[in-house]
Structure 1
Amino acid sequence: MRQTKPLPSAAQRWAEQFTEPVVAVRDTSHDWHRSRVWELTGEGGARRYVKVSPSVKFFTRETRAYRSVVPALGHSRAPRLLDSRADGLALLLTVAPGAPAPGLDLTSTQWRAVHAQAGMLCARLHEAGALDARDRAEAAASLVAAADGAEKYLGRAGDRLTADEQQLVRDYAQLRRVGPVPLGYIHGDNQPRNWLWSEAGLALVDFERTRPAARVQDLVILTATEWLGHPDRERAFLQTYGRDLTSAERQGLRCLTALDAVNCLAWGPDNGHPDITARGRRTLERLMREDRP
């Protein structure tokens, strides 16, 4: 069972400078020891979130995203940043409408609608303004940076991969051979746990990994999970995304899913996440059955 994390008293006092006095606090963190998010309810019933970032890098990314990128999603499509506190890595956020899609008993038709709206919102995010020179350089280097992590994750995974599987990952790590791909701002953790669904539609949350990158990197988790066995969801997403993927993006996505697999097998067992481990194992077994790069 996940242990409830108490909201630091300093963070509550800071939040109450911008909201009414807090009468209830609920831990809403993800099931990860570095995730720290609380829902605050004021005496008048207003709700807000306080998030304490796990690192300076994530804090910097998320505050920048809320100020410069997230507004492109549109009204009620994401929380709004009310204030941030650098010395405590804390963000004070409004509450976006909806509940995480995985916890809802959605029909196949509803899931297609969710993915259709996700495609629309991802397109808005990916196209949220022109990249400046520094961001474009970071985005252009993102695939190579992903490839450079292969050996690190192979070392951490150790004998969880066979020699043939290790070679497969190394073969797929040749992302330098992938041609030019569209660049933009990506969510960075684009999956249904960060999608809130309601009658008002879809909203996105959790922008700590938002950064300039190859846009196709936002589709890796979906390819390895949600779209596996559900091609109708992928079609719904891409239809509202506004275009099909280029051949270079398709090639890059295949390579990125292999790197995601070894990352899952390195991280999942060490952090007690059998679902993440299973995702990595499933992807590797599928790639081993298919044609090599």
Structure 2
Amino acid sequence: MESWHSNRLSTRQAGLVETWLPGVRLVSDLSWDLIDTAVLEVESARGRYIVKAGGPANHHIEREIRAHQSWVRVLSCQNRAPKLIHADRSASVLVSEYLEGCLVEGTEAEYAAETYVQAGALLRAFHHQAVRSDPDYEAAATAKVLAWLGEPHRIEDSDAAKARAILGTYEPRPVDVVPTHGDWQPRNWLVDGNEVRVIDFGRFEFRPAASDFCRLAVQQWRTDPQLEPAFFAGYGSDPRDSELWNVMQLREAVSTAAWAYNVGDHEFERQGRQMLHDALHRF
């Protein structure tokens, strides 16, 4: 007989959830099958929740737990992000509250200016909790992208050579880093009535603030340029440094194209190659 978690969870993970949420039942499997993160909407007598779990090599769950235990409260206390209910880092499993709302992506809200004013304000609150100088971030981020270029990919040879040349001569300097979401875009925003909420902190890390603008810059802001000033009206200022921003977008493009190829997401891979083509034109 199929288990309540559709065999998405290990025996240990399922046992923990059953202890935390007696009588747990599956409502919907929301997992994104390109990676080994299980995302399950469940309910028990205590209410409705989201269960997330990952395999031994999955770093997203640990990051999300760390984010919730230290930084997400600034949003969750306003009901603008989910509250963490239970977590076990060693088992790579967590339970968070279920937030009402529908995904912004694919709805009218995706191209509504008010959505971006709110998203900017929420991100400002998240970023402004802490700041520190990191002398190593830029060098490490660049080395990681150069390593991607050494792995199998379908980036055009000429584009790969240009990217390698630019990044190979780039001279990193210390940068200010803040708590970042890592995937700040409409597929991780909910709208409930007129209120925007944020989910999925599995890519949380301390990075330059502008790194959280990268996805928007190549997607929604490009489709409707009026959304960019709406976002910064909520955020309060535009902290982008032109040289760092250009390098950041180049690294993001390479990583997107190479990672998407690696997991077999062909649409995202095409987007990454287009991002790279556009990023290279800035140099």
Q: Normalising by the residue count of structure 2, what TM-score does the alignment of the two structures yield?
A: 0.86
Instruction: Confirm or deny: 8 A CA contact 1:169 1:258 kept in the other structure.
Output: yes
Name the stretch that deviates more: 262-271 or 89-98: 262-271
Distance 1:187 1:157, change over 3 A: same
Native 8 Å contact 1:216 1:253 kept in 2: yes
Shift of 1:157: 4.5
1:282 and 2:269 are equivalent in the alignment: no
SS at match of 1:40: strand
1:152 maps to amino acid: A
Deviation of 1:181 after TM superposition, in Å, equals 4.5
Matched, 1:121 2:122: yes
Secondary structure of 1:77 counterpart: coil
Q: TM-score, normalised by structure 1?
A: 0.83
Q: Does structure 2 retain, via aligned residues, the 8 Å contact 1:143–1:214?
A: no
Matches within 5 A, 1:77-116: 77-106=80-109, 108=111, 110=112, 112-116=113-117
Q: Structure 1 counterpart of 2:17, which letter? A: A
Question: How far apart, in 2, do the equivalents of 1:245 and 1:122 lie?
Answer: 13
Equivalent AA in structure 1 for residue 188 of structure 2: N
After TM superposition, give the deviation of residue 11 of structure 1 in Å. 3.3
Q: Deviations over 1:83-105 (max 9, x none)?
A: 11233211011012212211434
- 1:76–1:203 CA contact under 8 A, matched in 2: yes
2:180 aligned to which of 150, 164, 186: 186
Deviation of 1:24 after TM superposition, in Å, equals 3.1
Aligned partner of residue 87 in structure 1, secondary structure: coil
CA distance, structure 2, for counterparts of residue 167 and residue 99 of structure 1: 42
Determine what percentage of the aligned residue pairs are the same residue.
24
Deviation of 1:10 after TM superposition, in Å, equals 4.3
**Matched-pair contact (CA < 8 Å) for 1:102–1:192:** yes
Cα 1:199–1:215 change in 2 (3 A) is: same
Flag the 1:162–1:87 CA change in 2: closer, same or farther, 3 A: closer
Indicate which of 134, 150, 160 corresponds to 2:145.
150
User: Could you tell me how far 1:43 is from its partner in structure 2?
Assistant: 4.6
Superposed CA offset, 1:161-190 (max 9, x none): 222x12331344269546665421111122
Q: Distance in 2 between matches of 1:287 and 1:75?
A: 37
Stretches of 4+ aligned residues off by more than 6 angstroms: none
Corresponding residue to 1:273 among 262, 265, 273: 265
| 2:101–2:192 Cα contact (<8 Å) kept | yes
In the alignment, the residues of structure 1 paired with residue 65 and residue 154 of structure 2 have an alpha-carbon distance, to the nearest angstrom, of 39
Alignment RMSD, CA only?
2.6
1:220 counterpart letter in structure 2: C
Encode CA deviations 1:86-136: one digit per residue, 9 max, x unaligned: 33211011012212211434474x2x22222111111111112455xxxx5
Tell me what 1:241 maps to.
Answer: 235
Query: Helix, strand or coil: the match of 2:141?
Result: helix
d(CA) in 2 for partners of 1:174 and 1:87? 38
Give the letter aligned to residue 119 of structure 1. G
| Structure in which a larger fraction of residues adopt helix | 1
- Give the alignment partner of residue 253 of structure 1, picking from 242, 245, 264: 245
Amino acid paired to 1:242: G
Deviation at 1:53, TM superposition (A): 3.3
Please tell me whether the aligned partners of residues 185 and 215 of structure 2 are also in contact (alpha carbons under 8 angstroms). yes
In structure 2, C-alpha distance between the alignment counterparts of 1:107 and 1:270, rounded to whole Å: 28
Give the AA of the match of 1:26. S
What SS does the aligned partner of 2:122 have? helix
Q: C-alpha distance in 2, partners of 1:233/1:102?
A: 14
Residue aligned with 1:30, SS = coil
Q: Structure 1: 5+ residue runs without aligned partners? A: none
Structure 2: runs of 5+ lacking an equivalent: none
Q: CA, structure 1 residues 150+43, in 2 after alignment: closer, same or farther (shift >3 Å)?
A: closer
Aligned residues: 276
Q: Is the 8 A contact 1:97 1:203 kept in 2?
A: no
Q: Distance in 1 between matches of 2:154 and 2:35?
A: 25
Residue 143 of structure 1 and its aligned partner are, at CA, apart by 2.1
Give distance in 2, aligned partners of 1:57 and 1:287.
28
